[in-house]
Amino acid sequence: MNETPVKKKVSKKLRRRIVALLVIAGMAGGGYYYVTKDTDEVIQTAVTDIVYRGDITATVEGSGLTKAKNTESISLNTAGTVLDLFVSDGDKVMAGDPLFVVDSAAAVTAVKNAQNEVDGYQSQLNALYKDMAGLNLSPSYAGKLMDVVTLNAGDEVSKGQTLATLADDTRLRLELYFSYAYEGQIKTGQTAQVSIPALTSSLAGTVEAVHMVSRITDQGSKLFVVHVLVENPGTLTDGMVATATVDIGGETAYPYESGTLAYYRTGELTSTVSGTVISSKLVNFLPVTQGQTLVVIDGEDVENERFTIEQNLDNALEDLEKAQENLANTSAVAPMNGTVLGLSVGLGDSIDAGATILTIADTDTIIVDATVDERNVSFVKAGMWVDIDQWGNYFGGMVDSVSLTSDVSNGVASFPMVISVDNYDGALVTGSYVSYSLMASQSQGVLLLPLQSVKSVTLPDESFGTVVFVAGERPENAVDLPYPPEDVPEGYWAVPVVTGIADNYNVEIKSGVEEGMEVFTQMMTQSSWDMGGMMY
């Protein structure tokens, strides 16, 4: 380290302050000094250092709070009474071990009520989904439209409004009466020959059903009824007169009288939602197929209703889950391996709703919540070894994670860090502060300078950077600073440098200077006043 004397004038105000301090110092030491009035200079010495090679280790130190890596608290949302208690505070338990039994009628009732809520909302939602199919109104079977309501785009329809009658005319049914003389001889599935006078033709039909009713004619004959189905070739309609015969062992059985054809089935096409018509294809006597879209309705209101019911159902399911968990906790078992902590009840105690009964903590692994300062955070990585000191007891841990988001306090940024410590023997106590130390980085045979030699400045491009001030001739990589530091004397040149790791005293210089260069470090100030024959 070199020193270069530099003389500077001292203001009268500063001189008076220094004199006062020296007088006080002299009185405190049991004596006093005489200070001449005509002395008005101090000597400032420029302290320099030489760039040298050496080894450097960056050690990060700090403190943090210990806690179990995994904890789970057990509480009840309903009041009750402790019937059995199987553990004590500090006991080691395994997952599934019984902990306690609480008598709570309220917990049972809460589950029933929550289940009823879920069932109610689910039923509403199922019904609404069925209704919402009507946003694209379609027939459930093929047939022909009749008695349609004329709809135009923009018309409003109401839930439950009948928009058309749908007749299934793909088949027609013929109801005929036969004499009891044919009892047991006409059976379902038999072929019948259907005659339709209006068409002067006959068609094959099938016996759909036989009902042994007892119809008595005016002549005293007893009759039963037979239903015959006939496929519609496209020329049959409801109300046509028809008859049918059935072959019984080579003999033709005739009905008592003719009947009339009827549609196989009829029903109403009804809107299941309220809304505005977007399009409609409803036309009288239009043949339609099953699932064919006939009316499209804008169902904004029903969509809103669906969203509300789904939200209510989700909330009800959450309530049911909590109620079931609460009921399960009345006969609680350990959720994991760990230690019983904070047991707050005894046998026979009454428990208030919401009270935490105990906590299970997995103390085999302890984590330390700590922080790293902004100067060293870039060197700390997950997996690094950490020395832990708790009241003079030493443990080993590993860096689990380092956050990329800093906390700033009083202008200083720190980054949260989590340290994981194996605590298989339980020696590391939770809930207390510990000291930590880790070797963040180590470099050997690198260029080094004292920390004070490196200055943070504004560079010519107005960016911020670090420089050192080199003595001697101007180096090729020197820059002219727009705002040079006031404490750097003339004869030193600003050279940008890239720094590496640092310890409490020195910093690694990765580039910018060479070994053996002399650089400015700081100014040392000395007084030249004559005080009682002594120089300061």
pLDDT, tens digit, 9 for 90 and up, residues 54-77: 999 888 889 999 999 889 999 888
Q: For residues 251 and 253, what is the distance between their CA atoms, to the nearest angstrom?
A: 6
Tens of pLDDT, residue by residue over 363-416, are 889 999 999 988 778 889 999 999 999 999 999 999 999 998 988 888 788 999
Structure tokens at 47: 């302290």
pLDDT band at 145 (very low <50, low <70, confident <90, very high): very high
Share of the chain above pLDDT 70, in %: 90
According to the model, what pLDDT value does residue 528 have?
A: 54
Question: Is the separation of the CB atoms in 425 and 386 below 8 Å?
Answer: no
Tens of pLDDT, residue by residue over 215-230, are 999 999 999 999 999 9
Segments of the chain assigned to CATH 2.40.30: 162-270
Segments of the chain assigned to CATH 2.40.50.100: 54-104+331-446
pLDDT band at 306 (very low <50, low <70, confident <90, very high): confident
Residue 24 has pLDDT above 90, yes or no: no
Q: 445 exposed, middle or buried (CB, 10 Å; 0-12, 13-18, 19+)? A: exposed
According to the model, what pLDDT value does residue 278 have?
A: 92
pLDDT band at 325 (very low <50, low <70, confident <90, very high): confident
Question: Is the separation of the CB atoms in 78 and 104 below 8 Å?
Answer: yes
Q: For residues 264 and 278, what is the distance between their CA atoms, to the nearest angstrom?
A: 32
| Strand stretches in 197-326, DSSP E | 201-216, 222-231, 241-248, 251-253, 259-270, 275-280, 287-288, 295-298
Average pLDDT estimate for 135-149: 94
pLDDT band at 29 (very low <50, low <70, confident <90, very high): very low
Among candidate residues 229, 227, 177, the one with its CA nearest the CA of residue 203: 229
CATH topology of domain 54-104+331-446: OB fold (Dihydrolipoamide Acetyltransferase, E2P) (2.40.50)
CATH class as words, domain 447-525: mainly beta
Quickly tell me which residue has 């902004």 as its tokens: 374
Structure tokens at 177: 């009466």
Question: Is the separation of the CB atoms in 326 and 123 below 8 Å?
Answer: no
Q: For residues 39 and 530, what is the distance between their CA atoms, to the nearest angstrom?
A: 7
Average pLDDT estimate for 147-169: 94
Query: Contacts for 533-536 with beta carbons within 8 Å, 24 or more apart?
Result: 534/33, 536/22
Q: What are phi and psi of 314, to 5 degrees?
A: -60, -45
Q: For residues 524 and 522, what is the distance between their CA atoms, to the nearest angstrom?
A: 7
What are residue 226's DSSP bridge partners? Answer: 176, 210
According to the model, what pLDDT value does residue 80 have?
A: 87
Tens of pLDDT, residue by residue over 171-180, are 999 999 999 9
Lowest mean per-residue pLDDT among 34-48, 288-302, 412-426, 472-486 = 34-48
Q: What is the DSSP letter of 272?
A: S
pLDDT band at 27 (very low <50, low <70, confident <90, very high): very low
Q: For residues 349 and 214, what is the distance between their CA atoms, to the nearest angstrom?
A: 77
pTM: 0.44
Segments of the chain assigned to CATH 2.40.420: 447-525
Please count the other Cβ atoms lying within 10 Å of the Cβ belonging to residue 531. 18
Give ∠ CA 522-525-526 in degrees, rounded to 5. 150
Question: Is the separation of the CB atoms in 358 and 341 below 8 Å?
Answer: yes
The identity of residue 57, as a single letter, is T
The identity of residue 55, as a single letter, is D
Share of the chain above pLDDT 90, in %: 65
Q: For residues 329 and 344, what is the distance between their CA atoms, to the nearest angstrom?
A: 15
CATH number of 162-270: 2.40.30
Question: Is the separation of the CB atoms in 315 and 117 below 8 Å?
Answer: no
159 Cβ contact list (under 8 Å, min separation 6): 131, 271, 272, 273, 274
